[in-house]
């Protein structure tokens, strides 16, 4: 049967987020990632404070491992391969691993480098991101254009209708917040992040990522992977590398991704990883979609009947 798996990215992490899974493959997946990095990722999830897991250099490999671990737990239960996969920002790497396009160990090291490059591209405190709620996409884009004034501020996450994230230099983002409110936004509030993802300020990081990707083997995906940057799937490894590089400084077109899946007849979708962020966005994007959230053993078992059947 036709169904899609959607992999979450940063923002879905939490302490003990994998405790609902009993399959040995879950812990094994984290052990594999930990060995690749020389860091104990599982111990980070069991800490008393979330400070460590919220550091982007840790969040990215943690969320990659979580998505892949959930996917492997699904397969271990007898779950079928999805017909198509996609991931929100960082989740695109989990999707590529699930589609056998990217080796898991390579992906773990790659997202750690990606996180380090993103953080080094913009000094802490000089960049910013903000969520804008209740305003049309075109109005947000116009507000960013007005607020830029020679700096960078762009709409970078089109998460759902009326829910868009902007990013750029601190002063420009502050001006854009005011401009969005003046245009009627219900809310426009800064986000607690250390790097302004998916905007032009990330181009230096993209160059470092491009260099790293040259040394990574990428295979033809076994199922289509919809990429964030252009809502398209590729079979050519060169195009996949290019899509990953462009993703760093291009908007995440999530609303279009979900709508394309629905238009292609893929109306059965599941969020493969901890949390229910993507399932919530899907409800806002298309109320006819019922997106499962594979957050624990019970959710996996329930999904077997509805997705495999």
Mark whether 198 is an active-site residue.
yes
Q: Which of 198, 227, 233, 250 is catalytic?
A: 198
Whole-number Å distance between alpha carbons of 150 and 145? 10
Q: Which residue has the tokens 């462009």?
A: 246
Q: Coil, helix or strand for 152? A: coil
List beta partners, residue 155. 166
Structure tokens at 81: 């391969």
Q: Which of 12, 34, 89, 197 is catalytic?
A: 89
- Whole-Å CA distances, 277 to 65, 101, 282, 294: 17, 25, 9, 12
Alpha-carbon torsion 238, 244, 250, 253, what sign? positive
Contact 302, 292 (CB under 8 A): yes
Catalytic residues: 89, 198
């Amino acid at each position: 049967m036709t169904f899609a798996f959607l992999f979450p990215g940063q923002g879905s992490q939490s302490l003990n987020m994998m405790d609902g899974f009993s399959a040995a493959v879950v812990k094994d997946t984290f052990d594999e990632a930990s060995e690749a990095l020389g860091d104990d990722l599982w111990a980070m999830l069991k800490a008393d404070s979330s400070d460590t897991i919220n550091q982007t250099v840790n969040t990215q490999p943690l969320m990659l491992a979580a998505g892949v671990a959930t996917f492997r737990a699904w397969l271990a239960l007898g779950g079928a391969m999805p017909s198509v996969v996609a991931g929100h920002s960082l989740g695109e790497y989990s999707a590529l691993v699930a589609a056998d396009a990217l080796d898991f160990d390579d992906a773990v090291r790659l997202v750690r480098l990606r996180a380090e490059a993103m953080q080094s591209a913009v000094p802490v405190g000089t960049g910013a991101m903000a969520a804008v709620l209740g305003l049309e996409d075109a109005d947000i884009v116009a507000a960013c254009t007005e607020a830029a004034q020679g700096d960078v501020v762009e709409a970078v996450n089109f998460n759902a209708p009326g829910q868009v994230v902007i990013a750029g230099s601190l002063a420009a983002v502050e001006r854009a917040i005011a401009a969005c409110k003046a245009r009627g936004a219900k809310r426009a509030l800064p986000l607690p992040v250390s790097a302004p993802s998916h905007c032009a300020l990330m181009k230096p990081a993209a160059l470092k990522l491009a260099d790293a990707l040259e040394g990574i083997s990428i295979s033809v995906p076994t199922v289509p992977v919809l990429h964030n940057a252009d809502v398209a799937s590729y079979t050519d490894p060169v195009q996949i590398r290019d899509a990953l590089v462009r993703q760093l400084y291009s908007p995440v077109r999530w609303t279009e991704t979900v709508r394309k899946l629905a238009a292609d007849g893929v109306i059965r979708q599941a969020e493969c990883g901890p949390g229910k962020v993507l399932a919530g966005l899907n409800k806002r994007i298309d109320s006819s979609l019922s997106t499962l959230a594979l957050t624990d053993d019970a959710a996996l078992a329930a999904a077997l009947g509805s997705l495999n059947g």
